[in-house]
Every structure is written in C-alpha cells, then in structure tokens.
C-alpha cells in the first residue's frame, strides 16, 4: 500500500457505551497486521498502543484519524473525564472521524437506555443529532452490528492512500452500502418464486416471508464481501436483521410482520402493488426443483 503521506497517520480508537463487538470483529481481519503498519496507534483499548488511557485522557495529543466505537452518551466519564470533552478535543484536530458500528453511527443497541441524549456522532436513527453536527463533513459512518472488518479495512486503506471516500446521505461509504444485503444472496431464486423456509438453518427456501429477513431492505454488502471470506447470515440459514440501518434494533427480529398475511415491508424501491402482483403470479407456479431438498440425506443400516 502506497501513501502520499510522508509520515504514518496517527490513529486513535476510543469507546463510548459499547459491548466491544466492533473491536473483536476488526481483530478477525486477515490482513490486520499489514493494514496497521500504515498507522501509529496512539490508543486502542486492546491493540498495542503508544499511549495509555491515562495519558490520552490528559487531552494533550493530536490524531489524524479518530475512530469511535459505541453509543455516544455525553454524561459518560472515563476516569473522571467526560466523554463529551474527549470527543470534542480529538475530533477538532482529526482530519477524519469514523463511527465504527451502528451504535456510533445511529445510536444502536444502547440508544433506548437514554433516548433523550444517547445517539451516534451525527445521527439518532435518521434524525440529525449528536456532538459532531458542525463537523459532519469529516464523519464516515460504518454501520453494522458489528461492522464487517473488511469494510473498515477498505475505509482506512482509502484514507491512507489519500483517496476520497464518497458517502451517501447517512454518511456511509457508497462503495460498501449501495448494495442491499439481498444482492448476492444464494437464496434469491427461492425469493423470486416465493418458496419459503420453515426452519432456521435449512439450506433451502427464502427467509423473508416467515423468518423476518430484512435483506431486501438493508444497505449492506454482506453477501458480496463475505464474513471470514466464506459465509453470511443468510448462507447459513439465519435471517438478516438489518443491522446496518438506522432503525436497528427492531422488535421480533425473527418474525415477518404482516397485515392479512401480506408483508408489512416490501423490498426497497418496489411499489407494494407491483410486488403483490408479482408475488401472486409466482405462487401459482410449482417448481419441484426448488420445493425439494438440495441434499437428500438417507440413512443406511
């Protein structure tokens, strides 16, 4: 990786209210050692760092990249120093701010504990809200619960190569979030012909109609950039929970909300009337190949 920078970029990773899921996801990146060679790690809660937490809390150092993990709670303190002061100090000097995960991007799992103040850095769900509204042009949201390590690697690699990261209206990189999780799903033919799966973990059937899969409405590239380079939720028979979207988490994530057996939410960008018409037509066909088992397990005695 070649950078136009004369010196390594100084990276500081700080946390708000978090479960550490994004940190642990990042540690699964196959090329993490090569990637981190491009940075001076001023502070990270787990990775070897130049400074300790106590030294970082003195608010005397500057960083080029400020990565924030977890929900932002302005009343949270680290060793007596308010999180609001920490974020304000380091983001003013940083050239890029990355919200790592859905909590840091939109409030996520912990926004419900104090919705009047807890949020992401520039959004509370889709509402503009948070400590960095005046600096939102430097904020990149990498939503996901947790964020895919390859998405963070892509973003950091673009920055260290001095390339622009184009973002959508929610400040997510277009290269990563213009796809839907539905794209690349190995169950798409079942979706097209409305063949449902009855149980989790089965290789056959679509998870949208009965199991609450949000892939047709979720901006993410999980089925194109595979987890651990081999798999995804839908590939192993678990529904997409829509964890990259501002309204995550929702209730009853393992069920499809319906009105008179009609899905309440239909695939993104498809008019409901058109979708229902196509669904009705598709259900009149019976395709034996799709209705049977992919692998016929037979027991021998």
Q: How confident is the model at residue 299 (pLDDT cuts 50, 70, 90)?
A: low
The secondary structure of 224-256, three-state, reads CCCECCCECCHHHCCCCCCCCCCCCCCCCCCCC
Query: How many Å apart are CA 254 and CA 211, to the nearest integer?
Result: 5
Asked if pLDDT for residue 4 goes beyond 50, the answer is no
- Higher per-residue confidence, 43 vs 292: 43
pLDDT of residue 7: 87
Q: Which helix (H) or strand (E) holds 263?
A: strand 262-263
pLDDT of residue 70: 98
Could you tell me which residues come within 8 angstroms of residue 151 by beta carbon, excluding any fewer than 6 positions away? Answer: 142, 144, 173, 176, 221, 225
C-alpha angle 123-125-130 in degrees, rounded to nearest 5: 25
pLDDT of residue 293: 86
Q: Which residue has the tokens 């008179």?
A: 260
Tell me which CATH homologous superfamily contains domain 181-291. Cytochrome-c3 hydrogenase, C-terminal domain (4.10.480.10)
Q: What is the pTM of this model?
A: 0.92
pLDDT of residue 296: 75
Asked if pLDDT for residue 1 goes beyond 70, the answer is no
Which tens digit of pLDDT belongs to each residue from 221-263? 999 999 999 999 999 999 999 999 999 999 888 888 887 777 8
pLDDT of residue 143: 98
Q: Which residue has the tokens 């103040």?
A: 117
Could you tell me which residues come within 8 angstroms of residue 124 by beta carbon, excluding any fewer than 6 positions away? Answer: 106, 107, 111, 115, 118, 130
Q: Once rounded to an integer, what is the mean pLDDT over residues 167-179?
A: 98
Domains 9-177 and 181-291 share a fold: no
- Higher per-residue confidence, 280 vs 138: 138
- Share the mean pLDDT of the chain: 93
Query: How many Å apart are CA 135 and CA 141, to the nearest integer?
Result: 13
pLDDT of residue 298: 66
pLDDT of residue 273: 87
- Residue 115 and residue 257 in contact, taking contact as beta carbons nearer than 8 Å: no
Q: Once rounded to an integer, what is the mean pLDDT over residues 205-222?
A: 95
Q: Once rounded to an integer, what is the mean pLDDT over residues 150-178?
A: 98
Which tens digit of pLDDT belongs to each residue from 21-63? 999 999 999 999 999 999 999 999 999 999 999 999 999 999 9
The secondary structure of 53-90, three-state, reads HHHHCCCCCCCCEEEEECEECCCCEECCEEHHHHHHHH
Tell me which CATH homologous superfamily contains domain 9-177. NADH:ubiquinone oxidoreductase-like, 20kDa subunit (3.40.50.700)
Helices assigned H by DSSP within the chain: 21-26, 32-36, 53-56, 83-93, 102-106, 149-160, 174-177, 188-192, 272-282, 288-291
Domain boundaries, the chain: 9-177, 181-291
Q: How confident is the model at residue 115 (pLDDT cuts 50, 70, 90)?
A: confident
Query: How many Å apart are CA 71 and CA 156, to the nearest integer?
Result: 21
């Amino acid at each position: 990786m070649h950078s136009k920078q004369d010196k390594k970029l100084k990276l500081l990773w700080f946390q708000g209210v978090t479960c550490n899921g994004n940190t642990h996801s990042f540690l699964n990146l196959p090329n993490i050692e090569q990637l981190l060679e491009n940075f001076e790690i001023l502070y990270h809660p787990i990775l070897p760092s130049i400074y300790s937490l106590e030294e970082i809390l003195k608010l005397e150092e500057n960083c080029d990249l400020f990565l924030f993990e977890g929900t932002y709670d302005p009343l949270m303190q680290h060793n007596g120093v308010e999180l609001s002061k920490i974020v304000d100090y380091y983001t003013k000097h940083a050239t890029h701010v990355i919200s790592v995960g859905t909590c840091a991007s939109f409030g996520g799992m912990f926004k419900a504990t104090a919705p009047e103040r807890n949020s992401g850095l520039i959004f509370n769900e889709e509402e503009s809200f948070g400590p960095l509204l005046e600096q939102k042009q430097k904020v990149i949201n990498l939503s996901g619960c947790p964020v895919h390590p390859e998405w963070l690697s892509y973003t950091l690699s673009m920055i260290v190569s001095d390339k622009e990261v184009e973002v959508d209206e929610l400040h997510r990189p277009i290269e990563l979030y213009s796809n839907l999780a539905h794209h690349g799903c190995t169950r798409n033919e079942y979706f097209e012909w409305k063949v449902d799966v009855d149980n989790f973990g089965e290789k056959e059937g679509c998870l949208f109609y009965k199991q609450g899969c949000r892939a047709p409405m979720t901006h993410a590239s999980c089925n194109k950039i595979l987890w651990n380079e081999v798999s995804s939720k839908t590939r192993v028979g678990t529904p997409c929970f829509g964890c990259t979207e501002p309204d995550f988490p929702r209730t009853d994530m393992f069920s499809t909300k319906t009105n008179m057996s009609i899905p309440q939410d239909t695939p993104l960008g498809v008019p409901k009337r058109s979708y229902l018409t196509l669904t009705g037509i598709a259900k009149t066909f019976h395709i034996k190949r799709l209705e049977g088992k992919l692998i016929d397990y037979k027991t021998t005695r």
